[in-house]
């Protein structure tokens, strides 16, 4: 008896990864997420470009990312029209650059963008390139890229990219989450263990969203799993924590139902757990939306929930691929890139 | 007894109802399919107030696209079609947003139709701007797609096949199984590589006219890696890459995809072959062929990503072929 008891205790107390525990919790947790009492509702200030601007040629054909420079100008790569649109916070089109093509400064489906201190870096899907531009849109340099780095940041002389995680187990490079490259795209090291969930259990290939904290830590959020990780630049895992929200819980219930109905024990995960992330001195913002609600969760770097913002939606936001948070004396202003009812940026502020 | 009869009648009635329901639904589906498979009839005015009757489109291959006049990509598709097929094709652009779009109006042969209430969009069953449709001379649908994928991946192959009568066949780039690679002049580079490697008895050549598809699926590269590790140094693996890339790309390719075999740029002859095929076919048609070749240059196996279950099939066949031939030679 004593041996059995000791054995059971050993099993229970054995160190398991947080992902392991969360995996179980994510699927089987029955507790309901309750919005905190200090939940802050957001209201829309403006949407730009406006629908009527389209006639003047000011519109976003389709976009999957957004980045802001130090002045707060918002850069949106339009992957339908192969150009970069630059908007002021007030929604005015400041400039646009790029055209369809394969030459320097031209684009074929630019989908990713990162604003540095005096440059912007654009990634194109079809030309498989990274291109550096000045903030004014002047081409500087470029190089080919052979992996699907949907999310990337630049730190000093390093380009840090998070490749698309394939649901196909045969996909190469699945053993690491992050590649650290020089500014010519040559990989110097890779790190970050993937979640120990069979990739084939996902319904789709999934993205990782990465951002850089004020302490130069790499923040990674999984698109289909409610986990955020912080890594040092050298690749050491500093912290991992779970995100919780109403939408995540709702999707967890759906997962549970699917598992129940299939009866096969196969776990198939559905529902986005992070559409995009943004990091500033206040912490890590995680954006999640479904057709009824937008949620912005703010965590500090220890993984403690700090603030919870939400907005009830009538038409849904579609995919929210970009967030920029601007602090002003009157409070925070949230700029969200949304795809419904048409690709646009919406400015949201808290209700007073 | 009466109850049984009633039950029987109810059951029969229910079965007949279900049959009628199925017939009605299938009729509706057929009707819907007819709408989508034939050029729909419409009678509208173009932006110059000239009457456009779609029934008069018959007799000429027609490309109809719901465009945003401000979209450079949409216009680019029209320009490339115009350049490639000239008067052989009727180009029709429909939009709710025509204004002073001089770029479009400069091309006088293009038909520009205004669709402010999006009636035509609904008629064609297109869910949003960016859809295109190609019809043959008899008004039969040749293909439909989205402008977002652009000209290269969109209407190019469909219309080339229809108007030029050429369909892509892998024999355009590769000799068949059992033939020597030297039978294709443009594969001389492979023969030189083969002659320089004195250790290997088998060679796998991955021909990548573009690396895009190889990366996005990632499976072909992985298959080559598996092959390399499954078979000992009797096998050499090489990737031959299109000249769209340059020498500086090779270390990027090797480090990002963690390649443990050589990767070289194609020579001028192979590059020219790829380039000529690119004019006619989609990039994906001519990309990612893998050959298993013996040391005499005879092709033993071909991997074609458009084939059925190509990756596993090629891998297992290649391993088995090399093992069997090895045993035979030992005997």
- Judged by CB atoms closer than 8 Å, whether chains meet at A81 and B70 is answered as yes
Secondary structure (DSSP) of A209-275? EEEE-TTSPEEEEETTSSEEEEE-TTS-EEEEEE---HHHHHHHHHHHHHHHHH-S----B-S-S-S
> A163 has which bridge partners?
A149
A62/B contact by beta carbon, under 8 A = yes
The per-residue pLDDT for B326 is 66
Residues of B in contact with A145 (CB under 8 A): 252, 256
Mean pLDDT estimate for chain B: 86
State the Cα–Cα distance between residues A302 and A241, nearest whole angstrom.
8
pLDDT at B210: 81
Q: Which residues from chain B sit within 8 angstroms of residue A53, using beta carbons?
A: none
Q: In this structure, what DSSP letter does residue A292 have?
A: S
**pLDDT given for residue A97 in this prediction:** 96
What's the token pair of residue B44?
């509208």
Helix (H) or strand (E) holding A284: strand A283-289
Res A74: pLDDT: 98
Q: Is A59 on the interface with B (CB under 8 A)?
A: yes
Mean pLDDT computed over every residue of chain A: 84
Are the beta carbons of B68 and A61 closer than 8 angstroms? yes
Which among A201-205, A206-210, A252-256, A301-305 has the top mean pLDDT?
A301-305
Q: Three-class SS of residue A119? A: strand
User: Is residue B56 pLDDT above 50, yes or no?
Assistant: yes
At B213 the pLDDT is 52
- pLDDT mean over B99-121: 87
- The HSE-up count of residue A207 (CA atoms within 13 Å, CB side) is 18
The answer to whether the CB atoms of A61 and B71 lie below 8 A apart is yes
Distance from CA of B31 to the nearest CA of A (A): 31
Mean pLDDT of B220-241: 88
B284 contacts in chain A (CB < 8 Å): none
- Best probe of the B interface among A84, A108, A144, by most B CBs < 10 A, is A144
What is the chain A residue with the closest CA to B217? A171
Res B305 pLDDT > 90: no
Contact A179 B256 (CB under 8 A): yes
Q: Hey, what are A11's tokens? A: 């099993």
Residue B299: C-alpha distances to residues A210, B85, B183, B205 (Å): 46, 37, 11, 10
- Give the confidence band of A256 by pLDDT, cuts at 50, 70, 90: low
Q: Most confidently modeled of A15-29, A190-204, A211-225, B9-23?
A: A211-225
- Residues in B touching A108 (Cβ below 8 Å): 150
Which residue intervals of B47-136 are DSSP H helices?
A: 72-85, 102-105, 119-123
- Interfacial A residues in 13-42 facing B (CB < 8 Å): none
Q: Is pLDDT above 90 for A250? A: no
Distance from CA of B71 to the nearest CA of A (A): 5
Per-residue pLDDT, B231: 85
For the record, the structure tokens of B168 come out as 């892509």
Q: State what percent of residues in chain A have pLDDT above 90.
A: 55
What percent of chain B shows pLDDT beyond 90? 43
B243 contacts on A by Cβ (under 8 Å): none
Q: What does B221-250 look like in DSSP terms, one character per residue?
A: HHHHHHHHHHS-TTEEEEEEE-TTS-TTHH
Model confidence at A49, pLDDT cuts 50, 70, 90, reads: very high
Cβ-defined contact of A148 to B248 (cutoff 8 Å): no
Backbone angles phi, psi at A6, to 5 degrees: -65, -40
- Judge whether residue A312 has pLDDT over 60: yes
CB B263 within 8 A of CB B253: yes
Closest-CA residue of chain A to B96:
A55
Output the pLDDT for position A13.
Answer: 46
Inter-chain CB pairs, A–B, below 8 Å: 95
Q: Is B252–A148 a contact, with Cβ atoms under 8 angstroms apart?
A: no
* Angstrom distance (rounded) from CA B74 to CA B70: 8
φ and ψ at residue B65, rounded to 5 degrees: -135, 135
Q: Does the distance separating the beta carbons of A186 and B255 come in below 8 Å?
A: yes
Whether residues B221 and A172 touch (CB distance < 8 A) is answered with: yes
pLDDT band for position B6 (50/70/90)?
A: confident
pLDDT, average across residues B253-274: 91
B329 or B315: which carries more pLDDT confidence? B315
Test B219 with A171 for CB contact under 8 angstroms: yes
In the structure, what pLDDT confidence band is assigned to residue A54 with cuts at 50, 70 and 90?
confident
* Residues ≥6 apart with Cβ < 8 Å to B10: none
Cα nearest neighbour of B225 on chain A: A172
Lowest-pLDDT choice from A142-151, B83-92, B100-109:
B100-109
User: What is the β-pairing status of strands B89-95 and A344-350?
Assistant: unpaired
Contact A195, A227 (CB under 8 A): yes
Q: Is A305 on the interface with B (CB under 8 A)?
A: no
Q: What's the pLDDT at A168?
A: 60
Residue A24: pLDDT band by 50, 70, 90 thresholds?
Answer: very low
Dihedral of CA atoms A86, A92, A94, A98 in degrees, nearest 10, equals 40
Higher pLDDT, A204 or A169: A204
Residues of A in contact with B248 (CB under 8 A): 143, 184
CB contact under 8 A, B252 and A146: yes
């Amino acid at each position: 008896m004593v041996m059995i008891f000791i054995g059971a205790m050993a099993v229970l107390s054995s160190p398991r990864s947080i992902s392991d525990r969360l995996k179980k919790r994510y699927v089987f947790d029955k507790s309901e997420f309750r919005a905190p009492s200090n939940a802050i509702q957001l209201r829309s200030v403006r949407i730009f470009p406006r629908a009527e601007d389209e006639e003047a040629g000011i519109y976003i054909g389709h976009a999957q990312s957004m980045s802001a420079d130090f002045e707060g100008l918002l850069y949106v790569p339009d992957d339908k029209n192969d150009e970069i649109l630059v908007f002021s916070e007030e929604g005015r089109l400041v400039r646009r650059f790029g055209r369809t093509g394969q030459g320097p400064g031209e684009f074929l489906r630019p989908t990713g963008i990162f604003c540095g201190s005096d440059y912007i870096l654009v990634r194109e899907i079809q030309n498989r390139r990274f291109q550096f531009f000045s903030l004014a849109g002047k081409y500087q340099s470029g190089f080919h890229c052979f992996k699907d780095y949907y999310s990337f940041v630049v730190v000093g002389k390093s380009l840090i990219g998070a490749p698309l995680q394939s649901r196909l187990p045969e996909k190469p490079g699945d053993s690491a989450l992050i590649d650290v490259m020089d500014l010519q795209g040559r990989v110097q090291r890779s790190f970050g263990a993937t979640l120990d969930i069979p990739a084939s259990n996902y319904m789709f290939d999934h993205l990782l969203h990465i951002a850089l904290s004020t302490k130069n830590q790499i923040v990674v959020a999984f698109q289909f799993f409610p986990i955020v990780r912080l890594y040092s630049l050298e690749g050491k895992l500093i912290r991992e924590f779970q995100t919780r929200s109403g939408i995540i819980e709702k999707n967890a219930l759906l997962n549970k139902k699917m598992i129940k109905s299939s009866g096969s024990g196969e776990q198939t995960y559905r529902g986005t757990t992070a559409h995009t992330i943004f990091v500033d001195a206040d912490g890590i913002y995680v954006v999640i939306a479904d057709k009824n609600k937008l949620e912005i969760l703010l965590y500090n770097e220890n993984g403690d929930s700090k603030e919870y913002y939400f907005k009830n939606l009538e038409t849904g936001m579609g995919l929210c691929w970009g967030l920029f948070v601007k602090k002003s004396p009157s409070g925070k202003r949230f700029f969200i890139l949304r795809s419904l009812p048409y690709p646009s940026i919406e400015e949201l502020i808290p209700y007073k | 007894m009466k109850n049984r009869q009633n039950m029987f009648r109810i059951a029969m009635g229910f079965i007949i109802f279900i049959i009628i329901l199925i017939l009605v639904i299938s009729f509706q589906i057929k009707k819907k399919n007819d709408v989508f498979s034939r050029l729909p009839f419409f009678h509208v005015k173009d932006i110059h107030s000239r009457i456009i009757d779609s029934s008069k489109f018959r007799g000429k291959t027609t490309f109809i696209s719901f465009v945003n006049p401000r979209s450079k990509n949409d216009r680019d598709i029209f320009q490339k079609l115009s350049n490639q097929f000239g008067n052989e094709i009727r180009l029709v652009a429909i939009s709710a947003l025509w204004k002073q779009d001089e770029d479009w109006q400069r091309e006088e042969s293009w038909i520009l139709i205004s669709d402010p209430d999006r009636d035509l969009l609904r008629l064609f069953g297109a869910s949003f701007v960016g859809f295109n449709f190609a019809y043959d001379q008899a008004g039969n649908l040749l293909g439909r797609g989205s402008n977002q994928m652009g000209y290269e991946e969109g209407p190019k192959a469909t219309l080339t096949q229809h108007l030029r009568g050429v369909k892509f066949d892998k024999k355009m780039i590769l000799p068949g199984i059992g033939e020597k690679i030297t039978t294709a002049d443009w594969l001389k580079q492979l023969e030189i590589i083969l002659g320089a490697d004195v250790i290997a008895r088998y060679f796998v050549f991955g021909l990548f006219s573009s690396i895009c598809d190889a990366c996005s699926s990632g499976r072909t590269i992985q298959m080559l890696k598996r092959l390399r590790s499954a078979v000992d140094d009797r096998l050499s693996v090489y990737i031959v890459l299109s000249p769209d890339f340059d020498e500086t790309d090779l270390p990027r390719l090797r480090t990002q995809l963690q390649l443990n075999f050589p990767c070289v740029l194609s020579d001028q002859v192979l590059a020219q072959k790829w380039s000529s095929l690119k004019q006619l076919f989609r990039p994906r048609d001519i990309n990612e062929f893998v050959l298993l070749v013996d040391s005499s240059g005879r092709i033993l196996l071909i991997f074609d990503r458009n084939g059925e279950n190509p990756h596993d099939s090629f891998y297992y066949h290649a391993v088995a072929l090399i093992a069997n031939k090895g045993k035979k030679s030992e005997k």
